Amino acid sequence: MIPLLGLVGGVLVGLLWGPDVPLFLQPYLPIAVIAALDAVFGAVRAVLDGIFNDKVFVISFLANVVVAAFIVFLGDQLGVGAQLSTGVVVVLGVRIFSNVASIRRHLFGA
């Protein structure tokens, strides 16, 4: 319940407060969002598996976002930002899908 409240609260704060993201951070936003989603789905699966750990969740969340942003930054510096972004999206997307599949198996047994 608390995580759901926190998520909704965060979305509301973002919608109501709505601060402008600085321009230099904008290229990293899509990747950061996907990395955050990956961490959230991983956490949900860990909860259902009964092995959730808050410290692991926070650290994996931060590390995912930072590493994803760093990869995009590195790609931009090397001139292959689009390709590296695609790679990050593919890897995180696959992880999100298989985590969601596992969650689905837990919840619906199918």
Burial 93-102 (b: 16+ CB within 10 A, else e): eebbeebeeb
CB 60 within 8 A of CB 45: no
Considering the complex, what minimum distance in angstroms separates the CB of residue 99 from other proteins? Answer: 5
Classify burial at 28, counting beta carbons within 10 Å of its beta carbon; exposed 0-12, middle 13-18, buried 19 or more.
buried
Tally the residues of the chain: 110
How many residues belong to the site for other proteins (CB under 8 A)? 54
How many Cα atoms occupy the beta-carbon half-sphere of 69 within 13 Å? 15
Does 108 bind other proteins (CB under 8 A)? Our answer is no
Considering the complex, what minimum distance in angstroms separates the CB of residue 55 from other proteins? Answer: 7
Does 26 bind other proteins (CB under 8 A)? Our answer is yes
Considering the complex, what minimum distance in angstroms separates the CB of residue 47 from other proteins? Answer: 6
Considering the complex, what minimum distance in angstroms separates the CB of residue 74 from other proteins? Answer: 19
Structure tokens at 32: 């950061």
Does 72 bind other proteins (CB under 8 A)? Our answer is no
Q: Given the rule CB under 8 A, which residues bind other proteins? A: 1-15, 18-21, 26, 29-30, 32-33, 36-37, 39-40, 42, 45-47, 49-61, 65, 91, 94-96, 98-99, 102, 105
